Amino acid sequence: MSGDAHEPGTSSTVDRYLETIYCVAGEGEVVRPSRLAQWLGVSAPTVSDAVQRLERDGWVTIARDRSIQLTTKGHAKASSIVRRHRILERWLTDTLGFDWAAADEEADRLSSVISDEVIERIDESMGSPLTCPHGNPIPGRTPAYGHLTTLADLEPGTVAVVRRISEVAEHEARALLLSLHEIGVSEGSHIAVSAHVSLDEHLMVEIDQRTLSLPSDSAKWIWVEAIEVTSSDQGEFIASS
């Protein structure tokens, strides 16, 4: 996510920081000013000033080690921002046929101008989906998948189902979203690692009866759920994705 979309009652800057903190924390990272500066493309002093204002206004708390956490108030606001964005992404891809990267950009533009009532109507019209197109949970909903691991950590020969694409990839590697869309890797795809190629840090993966090469740095942003299939069924299972 990116852009200047914001909700009524807060500035676009506040919303952008709250959304970023929510997404970075959602990937299991400790949120620190340096990470926010990297994500938002601003200077360390700019982040320091902004975070101090967020703490002053009750949106975040700052620990002694400079790690940042959303307060109850901040989490509620951030959840609302992210929820709007992910519902719009799902609508743009599923109903209007946008690719992942384009949907992300358009959702940024639309979030600030569409009313809550329209968001709710869109959500209801789609049957209240559990995730965005990349499998990231819509706040307040729990996807029905189990333990996830990154594709980069999947053992060769293991068949898995793609469950979500990291929010980090959505923000920092939109080219990856386009690439995955083009080769047919999406939420629900069946995939298997056939080999780790250490020399050039690539993975050889199998999907739709094709063998593809993915950089390990990209594979770490693809979260999958391993499933058990018999060896005789494996090829057919992957082909059915």
3-state secondary structure of 207: strand
Same domain, 19 and 110: yes
Is 17 inside any structural domain? yes
Q: Count Cβ neighbours within 10 Å for each residue of 210-220 and write b for 16 or more, e otherwise.
A: eebebebebbb
Q: What is the CATH number of the domain that holds 83?
A: 1.10.10.10
Same domain, 201 and 114: no
Same domain, 70 and 20: yes
Burial of 198 (0-12, 13-18, 19+ CB in 10 A): exposed
What is the count of structural domains for the chain? 2
Res 171: pLDDT: 66
Length of the chain: 241
Q: How many Cβ atoms from other residues are within 10 Å of residue 89's Cβ?
A: 30
Instruction: Give the integer Cα–Cα distance in Å for 205 and 207.
Output: 7
Res 83: pLDDT: 96
Same domain, 19 and 75: yes
What six digits make up the tokens of 17? 């920081």
Domain end: 78, 111, 137, which one?
Answer: 137
Res 90: pLDDT: 96
Res 203: pLDDT: 82
What six digits make up the tokens of 51? 């975070």
Is 143 inside any structural domain? no
Task: Divide the 241 residues of the chain into consecutive groups of 10 and give the mean pLDDT of each group.
Answer: 50 91 90 92 94 96 96 97 96 92 89 92 96 91 87 88 82 70 79 73 80 82 82 50 45
* Strand extents, DSSP E, the chain: 60-62, 68-70, 149-150, 159-165, 190-197, 202-207, 210-215, 222-226
Q: What is the CATH number of the domain that holds 231?
A: 2.30.30.90
Same domain, 104 and 42: yes
Domain that holds residue 74: 1-137
Is 142 inside any structural domain? no
Same domain, 199 and 116: no
The whole model's pTM is what?
0.81
Kind of pairing between the strands at 60-62 and 210-215? unpaired
